[in-house]
Homo-oligomer: A and B are copies of this chain.
Amino acid sequence: MSEEFSRANGRTLLSYTPDLRLFDATIRDGGLMNDFYFEDDFVKALYKANVKAGVDYMEFGYRASKDMFDPEKFGKWKFTSDEDIRAIVGDNDTDLKISIMADAGRTDYKDDIRKKDESPVDIIRVATYIHTIPTAIAMVEDAHEKGYETSVNIMAISKSSGVEIESALELLGQSPVDILYLVDSYGSLYPEQVRRLCDRFLECAEKYGKKVGFHAHNNQQLAFANTTEAIIKGVCYVDGTVSSLGRGAGNCPLELLLGFLKNPKYRIDPILSFIEKEMIPLKESGLKWGYDIPYVLTGILNQHPRTAIQFQKEDRKDYRQFYIDLMDNF
């Protein structure tokens, strides 16, 4: 089809919006599947591929509290020190910006996050549930004062009521946060729900001068479709992970986004090379993630994927029984 398709905000399939930002979350979301034990060579290869592909941000991991999580039990990307990042990126003399994620209530942010001019990190993304928004805002204020770009990522949005979302957005609008991220943690949202939620987020963003981001999960093979719909709506930050690597069914494949986006700065071929050289061996090493029936079922039922992850770990195949058990815990 050579013709262009009209869209409410003037975006067409062949146009692009220069303010769209592509966010690679492979190490951070993927780390949830291997307890953050990625080799430096893997992370460095991904960093180089992202730079070549024109990806705008790369998230290296969480900065979790070492008081709450035992460094003996997790790889370093659970804690993602500035030094660990420097070992990969040096002075990061590139256009790629560097992100870390901090969970509301599980980060010693006052001590563990230095001032931006002493750190290779560019943006702090605070992950929060609706009920921890006040904590998230305190963290954002701290990061903002230290000089970072900030984002608040509202997880499990599909479990929240319209009233809660309105109230959370109003609080965040009045905070110094730069980006409001909509997170479909359970991969349960259909495109029309994403469109509706984007409208709400965008309305608040416009009122308070914020940007909106979207992070999808692929339980129902809707991560890419939901992300493109969010882009059409006007969302400016979108997350992807290479080969969908991420919790459970994984995320929106970065390679599909690179195939869709028309900004000439983006290139898919460095990510194709990374997949053949790094992701295939990782998969062959036995790490299991990605679209499969158990994740479909938790997605349909709007549940956390933990039961499905356990089902996959046990190498079970009794999908029907699993479904019956899930319905029992609805």
Contacts and interface: CB of A to CB of B under 8 A. Distances in A.
A320 B253 contact: no
Number of copies of this kind of chain in the complex: 2
Contacts of A255: 293, 296
Contact of A225 (B191, B276, B320): B191
A158 interface: yes
B272 A293 contact: yes
Contacts of A297: 259
Contacts of A300: 259-260
Nearest to A301: B259
A13 interface: yes
Interface stretch (A77-85, A112-120, A215-223): A215-223
Interface string A267-286: 01100110110001000000
Given A1-B158, A13-B190, A323-B269, A221 B224 contact: yes
B320 A276 contact: yes
B220 A223 contact: no
Main DSSP-derived SS at the A contact region = helix
Contacts of A293: 255, 272, 275
Nearest to A157: B1
Most chain B beta carbons < 10 A, residue from A275, A320, A324: A320
A251 B291 CA distance: 15
A135 interface: no
Most chain B beta carbons < 10 A, residue from A221, A232, A275, A280: A221
Contacts of A161: 2
Given A222-B225, A223-B221, A225-B225, A273 B320 contact: yes
A297 to B, nearest CB: 8
Contacts of A193: 1, 5, 13
A269 B222 contact: no
A256 B223 CA distance: 14
A327 B111 CA distance: 51
Interface of A: 1-3, 5, 7, 13, 158, 161-162, 189-193, 196, 218, 220-226, 228-229, 232, 253, 255-256, 259-260, 268-269, 272-273, 275-276, 280, 291, 293, 296-297, 300, 317-320, 323-324
The 9 residue pairs across chains A and B that have the minimum distance between CB atoms: A225-B225, A259-B300, A272-B319, A272-B320, A273-B320, A276-B317, A221-B221, A221-B224, A5-B192
17 contacts: A1-B193, A2-B161, A7-B192, A13-B192, A191-B191, A218-B221, A221-B223, A221-B225, A222-B224, A225-B225, A225-B226, A253-B296, A259-B296, A259-B297, A259-B300, A269-B320, A273-B319
